[in-house]
Amino acid sequence: MKVQLTTNQIEWRQQFRRFAEEQVKPYATQSDRNERLSEEIMESIRSSGYLGSMVQEEYGGKGFGPITQGLLNEEIGKVCSSTRAMLTVHGMVAIAIQRFGTEEQKQTYLPQLSDGSILGAFALSEPDTGSDAKSIQCKAEVRNDSYVLNGVKKWITMGQVADLILVIAQLNDGPTAFLVEKDTPGLSIEAMTGLMGNRASMLAELHFNHCVIPKANRIGKEGMGLSAVALNSLDYGRYTIAWGCVGLGQACLEKSFSYSKTRKQFNQSIGEQQLVQKMLTEMIVEVKAARHMCHHAGYLKEINAPESIMETWAAKYFSSKMGVNVANHAVQIHGGNGYIQGNDIERLYRDAKVNEIIEGTSQIHEVLIAKNANMAWIRS
């Protein structure tokens, strides 16, 4: 397995790290408090071209490979999970169009998604439907030369500000994917606030009331909305979330390691206490293990190995659990100082939990991994 970064990948990682530290991190706490990504972050992301990181160069994107894509999400996830969430859902829309869209759809939307002139959101979940995606209630009907959408989508990341929404709806008893622009008559957007973590991810509930969608805005074949379009988008989403968890865990580790050297109790630094050393050791090993799993999944994607989907499930499952455990240790090491609003550790702790829920809960991953595992994969 290839684990060594190329010179080009190392240079990109350095660039991503500088960007995250200089352009995103200074506004992360403010965004969390306001439950909205700051205009400074939004403008920086647009200007950077990173919104097109997953788009092929012929359509104006950067055409990053999976490993470089992972490094970007790790560095952004290290400083602001909500900004990483924006990159994830935006990419899920771009990936769907790039993989299943018509040439007209690609030419129309991919350049705009790449330069940030439009922002994408992925709409699958509903008020009564989460993991059981086949039970979605949002309906699409054929009417003349158009489709008419009715229903509600909930928990839609960036739904408050997205310009283009990839919607999965039932059409003739088969889930089908559609591109819906935000100014479509009949679409109303209700902001969701009061989240525990990822508070700046601008979630929304979307109401479709007789929304007329041109037939040209269907993505992929009828009935292939889940098995093809959503499957590929969710695979990309899980992969980037896994890397984002590595970044979050790395941030918790670095801050805890530094704090343990300067915080003194009983006439010595707390880092000299064996129980603190135990927590730091667990953090170091778990972060390294999660990063290794993400690298492996990325390498398999780069060589188009079919088992990359299984490795992505495993990486997302482990990395999300790692993030919660490492963040918990970080708060414990910081004590009261890690439990107060305004401290990065407090925000990282709140942000960590949602990663065990989004793009498939940890329990769903346990079912998927156990049911689909085979001896060859287990031994690999």
Determine the topology of domain 7-119 in CATH. Answer: Butyryl-Coa Dehydrogenase, subunit A; domain 1 (1.10.540)
Kindly tell me the burial class for residue 369, based on how many C-beta atoms sit within 10 Å of its own C-beta (0-12, 13-18, 19 or more): middle
Task: Give dist(CA 234, CA 171) in Å, integer.
Answer: 20
Q: How, if at all, do strands 204-214 and 146-156 pair?
A: antiparallel
Determine the topology of domain 121-221 in CATH. Answer: Butyryl-CoA Dehydrogenase, subunit A; domain 2 (2.40.110)
pLDDT for the residue 173: 73
Task: Give dist(CA 61, CA 87) in Å, integer.
Answer: 13
- Helix (DSSP H) and strand (DSSP E) numbers for the chain: 12, 10
Q: Is the pLDDT of residue 36 over 80?
A: yes
Among candidate residues 126, 286, 346, 359, the one labeled active-site is 359
pLDDT for the residue 1: 58
pLDDT digits (tens, 9 = 90+) for 181-199: 999 999 999 999 999 999 9
pLDDT for the residue 300: 95
Domain-wise residue ranges, the chain = 7-119, 121-221, 226-379
Mean pLDDT of 127-145: 88
pLDDT digits (tens, 9 = 90+) for 252-294: 999 999 999 999 889 899 899 999 999 999 999 999 999 999 9
Mean pLDDT estimate for the chain: 95
359 is known as an active-site residue: yes
125: DSSP letter: -
Q: Let me know if domain 226-379 sits in CATH 1.20.140.10.
A: yes
CA distances 284 to 129, 249, 278, 281, Å, are 37, 9, 10, 5
Closest CA to 232 of 376, 122, 86: 122
Band of pLDDT at residue 2, cut at 50, 70 and 90: low
Q: Is the pLDDT of residue 356 over 80?
A: yes
Mean pLDDT of 90-95: 98
Band of pLDDT at residue 78, cut at 50, 70 and 90: very high
